[in-house]
């Protein structure tokens, strides 16, 4: 008999220091159940506060839940949802950065992509590209799209040799025609910038001949840009005609027709002065870039095509007004704030 075991009226009992596999298992299950109940209670409190309109309180409860459950698969969606409750894009970025590395690797990729999207909207292309690259390692067509977004952002920051190398690989190896098209467009545009538009024109014309059906209008937009720089009127007309016939009403069609400002990737507009033919409405002007970025973030979340331009010490926020009805939509947008 163990020194820690006693008999009372013929029955064996355990002293406080004694152990038993059965008792230990029951104790662990009890602790686990209590932990789950506590987490469920935090989640219920968070959702109740959110429904009541207390977003600040809801964020506190959701973060408490994340502190307990950040290693679970469900935490990925919960983290993205909690970030969406922030009105300030920088605060949402800080939250995602704080928790993303605590997630199981196989569940973290959507969070890296969301983080990259927010950073891109805030005008932080290098950070966004790095995080899209992390997201792209998940593989498959979704990973390829994130890889493509990373390359587009790197193109905007001037890292052309690296973009040229990676875009070339992606244009050959991507699993979908759409990604191959977009990578090939970026591949050719980069060659035009690094060497000459004439070499790029020969390259993209060869790609189009081999590809057959084109699924991304960016191929034709790249051809339009390159042929324009090379002074090849015939190819330029071909590109514009193909965009108009095959992709009418698309954002690329609006860009080609000079009706909206061009962007490198969603949420990352090229900061160039507005050119003739673009219809726009200025929504705000700020002395602090982050304030302009926050407004742009809200506008894009509401479905507007928005961008920021710097003019001296001011950061101006614009929205596209291709149909002339942006002011009406802005009134509804302001009423919802």
Q: What is the CATH number of the domain that holds 283?
A: 3.30.70.1070
Are residues 146 and 180 located together in one domain of the fold? Answer: yes
Quote the domain boundaries for residue 182: 139-270
For residue 308, being part of any structural domain is answered with: yes
Q: State the average pLDDT over residues 44-59.
A: 89
pLDDT of residue 153: 86
Are residues 179 and 204 located together in one domain of the fold? Answer: yes
Kindly report whether the global pTM for this prediction surpasses the value 0.85. no
Instruction: Say how far apart CA 321 and CA 304 lie, in whole Å.
Output: 9
Segment among 27-31, 145-149, 189-193, 322-326 with least mean pLDDT: 27-31
Of 270, 287, 302, which residue sits at a domain end?
Answer: 270
Report DSSP letters for 260-319, one per residue: S--EEETTEE------TT--EEEEEEESSHHHHHHHHHHHHHTT--EEEEEETTEEEEEE
Sign of CA dihedral 124, 130, 131, 132: positive
Are residues 174 and 251 located together in one domain of the fold? Answer: yes
Q: State the average pLDDT over residues 68-93.
A: 86
What is the number of other CB atoms lying within 10 angstroms of the CB of residue 166?
21
Of 270, 304, 322, which residue sits at a domain end?
Answer: 270
Segment among 104-113, 137-146, 168-177, 250-259 with least mean pLDDT: 250-259
Are residues 314 and 192 located together in one domain of the fold? Answer: no
């Amino acid at each position: 008999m163990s020194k820690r075991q006693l008999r009372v009226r013929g029955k064996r009992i355990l002293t406080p220091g004694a152990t038993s596999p059965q008792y230990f298992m029951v104790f662990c299950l009890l602790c686990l159940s209590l932990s789950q109940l506590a987490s469920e209670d935090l989640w219920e409190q968070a959702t109740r506060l959110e429904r009541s309109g207390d977003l600040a309180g809801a964020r506190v409860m959701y973060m408490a839940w994340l502190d307990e459950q950040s290693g679970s698969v469900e935490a990925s969606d919960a983290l993205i949802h909690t970030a969406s409750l922030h009105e300030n894009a920088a605060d949402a970025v800080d939250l995602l950065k704080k928790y993303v590395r605590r997630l199981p690797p196989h569940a973290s990729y959507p969070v890296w992509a969301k983080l990259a999207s927010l950073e891109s909207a805030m005008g932080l292309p290098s950070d966004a590209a790095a995080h899209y690259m992390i997201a792209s390692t998940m593989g498959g067509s979704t990973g390829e799209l994130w890889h493509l977004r990373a390359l587009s952002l790197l193109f905007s920051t001037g890292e052309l040799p690296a973009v040229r190398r990676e875009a070339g690989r992606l244009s050959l190896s991507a699993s979908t025609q759409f990604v191959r098209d977009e990578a090939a467009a970026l591949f050719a545009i980069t060659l035009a910038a690094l060497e000459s538009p004439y070499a790029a024109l020969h390259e993209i014309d060869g790609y189009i001949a081999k590809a057959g059906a084109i699924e991304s209008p960016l191929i034709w937009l790249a051809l339009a840009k390159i042929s324009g720089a090379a002074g090849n009127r015939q190819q330029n007309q071909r590109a514009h005609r193909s965009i108009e016939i095959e992709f009418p009403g698309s954002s690329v069609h609006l860009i080609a027709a000079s009706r909206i400002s061009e962007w490198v990737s969603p949420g990352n507009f090229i900061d160039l002065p507005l050119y003739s033919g673009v219809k726009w409405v200025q929504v705000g002007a700020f002395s602090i870039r982050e304030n302009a970025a926050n407004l742009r973030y809200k506008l894009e979340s509401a479905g507007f095509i928005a961008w920021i331009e710097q003019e001296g010490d001011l950061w101006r926020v614009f929205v596209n007004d291709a149909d002339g009805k942006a002011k009406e939509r802005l009134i509804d947008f302001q009423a919802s704030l």
